[in-house]
Structure 1
Amino acid sequence: MELESLELQNGNKVMQAYNHDEKFIHTFFDYKNESNSYPKRLKELSDRSFQRKELANVITSFMEPFGISEKAAKYIDELANDGVVVIGGQQAGIMTGPLYSVHKAITVILLAEKKREELGVPVIPVFWIAGEDHDLNEINHVYTEVSGKVTKNKYREKYILKLMASEAEYSHEMMTTFVKDTFRQFGETEHTKSLLDEVLEAVSLEKTFTGFFVRLMNGLFSEHGLLLIDSAYKPLREIEKGPFTGFIEAAEKIAKMIASTEEEFDAIGFGRPIQAEYDAANLFYMHETGRVLLTRDNEDFVNSSAGIRFTPDELMKVANEEPWLLSNNVATRPIMQDMVFPVLSFVGGPGEIAYWALLKDAFHHFGIKMPILVPRISITLVTPQAKQAMDDVALTVSDVLSGKVLDEREKFIETLHDEQFDELLRETETFLTSKYVELESVVDLSMTQLLHKNLEFHKKQLNYLRGKAEESLLLKHEVALRKYRILENELLPEGSLQERLFTPYTFMNQYGPELVRNLLCQPLKMDGTHQIVYL
C-alpha cells in the first residue's frame, strides 16, 4: 500500500470551519481537537462518576454471543476500573454498510491506541451501534458495479411497522439469496469462497440487522479489542434510567437551547442539520405500531398519529420502570452516550459534527462538557486499474474527486468527431431546407403541410445518421472511454465519495480479508485531510 493525503476541494463547509476556524470552535464546542485538550478532558472525567461495573457487565453480556477476544476482555476490565473511551458509531448496514463504517472503527482504534500511549492511561476503543434507528431504507442495500454501471441492490423484504434495526428480523432464505447475488456481482476471485462462507455464517447465526452487522464487525476488529454495544440493548437501558428522567424533566429547556442554537448556526451560513423544533421532546417511544417520535403539547408528551399522550409523571414512570420503551433522537443520543460512558473523545463524520455543534448548551445544562470531537478518517481506495486509468487520461485523484472526469470525457469525445462528416450533414440539411422552401413557393397551398412533414422526415433521418455515427465512434474508442468510466465508478460512484457507497467486501473480495488489518497498519492521518490509499 502507498499513502497520500489530500485536501478535498469540495470539502464540507462545517468541516472546513471545524478544522480551521478558531471562533467557530470556541462558539460551538468545548475543546479544540488538539493534544493539549486531552489532559483537560481527562481531569473533567475524573471529577465525574459513572456506573463502570454495571457498564462493563452490560458490554460483556452483549458481546459474549459474538465472541470476546483476550484484548477486548482486558479492555472491559479496564473500563470497569478507571479506563476512558474513544467512541464512535454507525447504523447497522448490511455487510457492514458502506466503507465509512469501517473507516470510523479504524479511527476509533488508532486514536485510542495513540492516546493510551501519549497519556499513559487506559484508553479503550468503543463502537456504538445505532440499533434503535428504525429507518431500514437507510441500511437495507448494497452497491455494486456491474457491466460498467453502479447499481443499488436492495434487500426486498417488507416491514410494515417502524421496527428498530435491532428488532427487525430478516428472512434467512431471502438474506442468503441477497448475499450470494451480491458476491456474484463482485466476481469470482481466490478470496470469494472464504469471504462468502464467513458472511453466510453470520446470516445463519443471526436474525436481526444489528446482529448481522455486529458479528461481521467483531470478526474484522476483535484482535484490536474493539468493544461493541447496541444502543437498543435492553440491559443498557437500565443504566440509562437517570439520563432519561433528566431529559424528560428538562425537555422544554433542551428543546429551546438546541432550536435557538440551530437558528444561530443557520444565520451564519451553516444550515439546519436537524431542523430542531421548540416543541420537541427529543425522545422516541416504542409503541405497538413501532418506534414513534414524541413532541410536547403544553406539559404533556404526545404523538398524535399513534394516539399517545403522557403526562410528565407518566413518562417519568416509564423511564424508571420500563426504560427500554424509550430511546434517544439525534439530539439526546450524544448526551446520553456521554453520561453512560467516560468519553475522552468522540469520532464522527461531517454530518455528525454538524449536529453536535448544536448541543453545547444542552450538555452544559447537565453540568458536563462536550468531549473532544475528532473527524473520522476519510479514505479512498485506489486499485491498480484506477491508477492506470488516471495515468492514461492524465488526471489526478484530486481531479477525479472534484468531479472533473465528466468534463474531461466530453472534451475527449469532442476530439473524436469527424468534422468533415458533421459539416456534410449540416450542408445536406441546409440544402434540403432551402429546396423545400423553393418547392413551397411553387406548389398549391394545400401541399404546404405535406412538404413540412416530408422535410421533418428527412431531418429525422439525418439525425439518425448522426446518432449512428456517434455510436460507431464511441464503440471504436470504447477502450479509451472505459478508462473514464472506471474512474467515475470506482473513485466517485454516483457522484459520491467511494466510502459512502461501497461495502468493504467489494475490495476484500479482490484484495483479501486482510485488507482492513493492513489499513490499520498504515500511518493514516486524523487531521481532517482525505487519505488516498493505493492498493
Structure 2
Amino acid sequence: MSTLTETDCLLSKIDFEQTNSFSSFFLDYISGKESLQGFHNGLPTKENFKKQIEDRNFPQSHRDIVSEQLLEQYSKVDASQATLSNIELLKEGNTFTVTTGHQLNIFTGPLYFIYKIVTVVRACEELKHEYPEYNFVPVYWMASEDHDFQEISYFRLNGKKLVWETDQQGAVGRFNLKGIDKIFEQVIGMPEFFVEAYKKKNLASAVLSYVNALFGERGLVVIDADNAAMKELFKPVIQSDLFEHKPQELAQKTTDSLEQAGYSTQVFPREINFFYLKDDIRSRIVKTDSGFEVLETNLHFSEEELKEEIEKHPERFSPNVLLRPLYQEFLLPNLAYVGGPSELVYWLQLKGIFDHFGTTFPLLMPRNFAAVVDKNTLRKVEQIDLTWEDLFKEDHELVNEKVKEQTTFKLDLNVEKAKLEAIYQQALQQALDVDQTLERMVKGEHRKAEKTLEKIEQKILKAERKNQEILVNRIYAIKEALFPGGAPQERKDNFLNFYMTNPNFVEDCLNSLSPFDYRFHLLRTNE
C-alpha cells in the first residue's frame, strides 16, 4: 500500500468493471461499444468537446432571457462574484455550460449529490485550460418541479435516518419549510449555511441557498426552471407533445432499436409527456374522447382551451422524465450532461427527440463515483493488508479468502475429495460391469458423499472464522463503513458524516476527484 502525504486525499482509483457495481448497459456505453454509437454524440472526452462547441448553435434570445431570470433568482441570496460573472457570461456566444441535475434532497441527501456538482465544476475548470478561448459555466439544475417527496424527505447521518414530515402535495420546490426545524433539534453543530437556507420561503430557495454556500466561490450556477419566462421558450415542444405526440413516436422508435440491440430501457414514452402544474397540483395530462383532463383532479380542457392555456400560462406545463432533458437543453448552451449510470443510459433513448427539435444532443458524462475511507477504516485496511480491489468483493467471499490466507491450518478437503472421486469411479466401473442400471445409484451415492465432505469443510472453515474473530470483525466493519447496509456509501450517507469533522471536505473532493478519469475514486478523510 502506497505511503500518503498529509495533504493527499486520493487513495486509489478502481476500474468500473472491478467494482461489480455497474450495469453492462452503462459499461458498454462508456467503453464505446459500437452497437451504441448511433444513440449518442460521442464519448465525453476533452477532444470531443471541441466538436460539441462547433455544433452547438444556441439562440441569443435564449441566452438573454435565461441570464436575466437567473440574476433575479440570485437576488435573494448572497451570490459570489464568480457566480454573478458566470451568469453574465451566459449572454456571450463563446460561453457554454456543463450541467448536472438532481432532486431537492433535504440537507443535500446522499453523498453523490456532492460528487455530481464537483464533477461539473472541475470539468469546466479543465475545459477552460484546454480551450481558453471559450468560457465554461458549471450548472446545477434543480428538479424543483418533481413531486416525489418521499425520495427527498430524509437523509442519513451517523447511521440515523432523519426525516422531514409534511403532508404538502405538488412540486416539491414550492413546499414551504414548516416542520423542517425539528431536524435541527436532532443534529448538534448543524452548519450555519443550512440554518440560513431553511429560513427561506420554500424548498427551492433553500436548496439554492445551501448549494450556493458550498459551491458559489467556484462559480457554480443553480437554475430553477419552474419559471414562466423560461417555459415560454419551450412552448413549441409543449404544443407538439400535446397535440401531435411526436416525442412519443420518436422515443419509442429509439427504445425499440435499443431493445433489439439487447438493452433493457428505463423510460416509457407516453402519448402526452407533460404534467399540469398549478398551486399544489402536479398531475398527468391525458387525452380523452372529449378533449383533455388532468388526472386526480376535476380539471378538463377542450383542445382550444388547452391551446389557450399554453399560450397564456406555459409555466403550468411541467415536462416528465422524457422531456425534461430537452427543456434543459432549450435553456442552456450546454455541451454535456453529468449524471449517474441509470440517468445516462435513459438519455440514450432521447437522441431522436433532440434531432427533431433541432437541438444538439449533449455529451453524456458519468459523474465522479467515490467512497470516503475514514481513519479508523483505513487503519483496519492496512492491518489486514487488503487491496483496494478487495473492498468490492462480496462480504462472505472476502472473509473466507482472508481467513484462508491467515490460517496455519489446512481448511480444505481437496485431497480427500480427489480420493473420494477415485474410489467412486472405481466402484462405478465395477457396478457397470455387472449391471448398467446401477449407474444412477452409484453416482447418487457419490454425490451424497461429496456433500458430506463439503459440509465438513464448511464446519472447519466456520470454526476457523471463529478462531480469527478479530480479522472477521475488522472486515465486516470495513464493509459496513464503505457499504452501509450493503449499499454503496455514496448512495446512503450524507456528506455531513465527513463535513462535521472536516469543514474542508468539499474542497478536498474538488482537489481529489478527476472529472475525465472514468474510474471509481477512493478518498481518505482529513479529520
Question: How far 1:356 moved relative to its partner?
Answer: 0.4
Q: 1:101-500 residue pairs with structure 2 within 5 A? A: 101-119=113-131, 120-145=133-158, 150-159=159-168, 161=169, 163-171=170-178, 174-181=179-186, 183-184=187-188, 193=189, 195-203=190-198, 205-250=199-244, 252-277=245-270, 280-287=271-278, 290-297=281-288, 300-402=291-393, 404-409=394-399, 480-500=471-491
The answer to whether the Cα contact below 8 Å between 1:50 and 1:342 also exists between their aligned partners in 2 is no
Query: Does residue 59 of structure 1 match 2:70?
Result: yes
The whole-number CA distance in structure 1 between the counterparts of 2:306 and 2:388 is: 53
User: Normalising to structure 1: TM-score of the pair?
Assistant: 0.78
Looking at structure 2, the residues matched to 133 and 333 of structure 1 have their Cα atoms a distance apart, in angstroms, of 10
Opposite residue 57 of structure 1, the aligned amino acid is E
Residue 249 of structure 1, CA deviation: 4.5
Cα gap change, 1:272 to 1:302, in 2 (>3 Å): farther
C-alpha distance in 1 between matches for 2:120 and 2:58: 24
AA partner of residue 178 (structure 1):
I
Aligned with 1:81: secondary structure?
coil
Unpaired runs of at least 5, structure 1:
185-192, 417-469
The residue matched to 1:143 in structure 2 has which SS?
Answer: strand
Question: Cα distance, 1:526 vs. partner?
Answer: 2.3
Partner amino acid for 2:512?
Q
- The CA distance in 2 between the partners of 1:346 and 1:3, in whole Å, is 27
Instruction: Determine the C-alpha separation between the residues in 2 that align with 1:261 and 1:216.
Output: 38
Corresponding residue pairs, total: 458
Q: What secondary structure sits across from 1:517 in the alignment?
A: helix
Q: Which residue does 1:18 correspond to in 2?
A: 29
* Post-superposition offset of 1:107: 0.8
Question: Within 1, Cα distance between the matches of 2:348 and 2:324?
Answer: 14
* Partner amino acid, structure 2, of 1:228: V
Q: SS where residue 157 of structure 2 aligns?
A: strand
Counterpart residue identity of residue 153, structure 1: L
Q: Deviations over 1:251-297 (max 9, x none)?
A: x22112212322332343321211334xx311110256621012334
SS class of match (1:170): coil
- Match status 1:84 vs 2:88: no
Counterpart Cα distance in 1 of 2:33 and 2:243: 34
Q: Does 1:36 align with 2:47?
A: yes
1:295 and 1:13 mapped to 2: Cα distance?
Answer: 35
Return 5+ residue gaps in structure 2 as ranges: 1-8, 407-461
Amino acid in the other structure paired with 2:248: A
Report deviation, 1:165.
1.2
Give, as a single letter, the amino acid of the residue that structure 1 aligns with 2:483.
L
* Contact 1:75–1:124, Cα closer than 8 Å, also in 2: yes
How much has 1:333 moved relative to structure 2? Answer: 0.7
Structure 1 residues 397-435: Cα deviation after superposition (integer angstroms, max 9, x where no partner): 322234x2244447789999xxxxxxxxxxxxxxxxxxx
CA RMSD of aligned residues (A): 2.9
Shift of 1:298: 6.6
Contact 2:109 2:156 in 1 (8 A): no
Find the aligned partners of 2:72 and 2:357 in 1 and give their Cα distance.
29
Q: Partners of 1:316 and 1:3 in 2: how far apart?
A: 57
Q: Which 4+ stretches in 1 moved above 6 angstroms?
A: 410-416
Paired AA for residue 167 in structure 1: R
> Does the CA contact (< 8 Å) of 1:91 and 1:131 recur in 2?
yes
Q: CA deviation at 1:331?
A: 0.7
Q: 2:69 and 2:324 mapped to 1: Cα distance?
A: 18
In 2, distance between residues paired with 1:219 and 1:482? 40
The one-letter amino acid of 1:305's match is: E
The residue type equivalent to 1:514 in the other structure is N
SS in 2 for 1:51: helix
- Is the 1:282–1:332 contact (alpha carbons within 8 Å) kept by the matching residues of 2? yes
Give TM-score scaled by structure 2 length.
Answer: 0.80
Q: Percent identity?
A: 22
Q: Which amino acid letter does the alignment assign opposite residue 273 of structure 2? A: N
Q: State the shift of 1:169 in Å.
A: 1.6
Q: 1:408 to 1:228 in 2, by over 3 A?
A: same
* Conserved 8 A contact 2:100-2:139: yes
Query: Does 1:2 pair with 2:15?
Result: no
Q: Secondary structure at the match of 1:131?
A: coil
1:481 Cα deviation from its structure 2 partner: 4.8
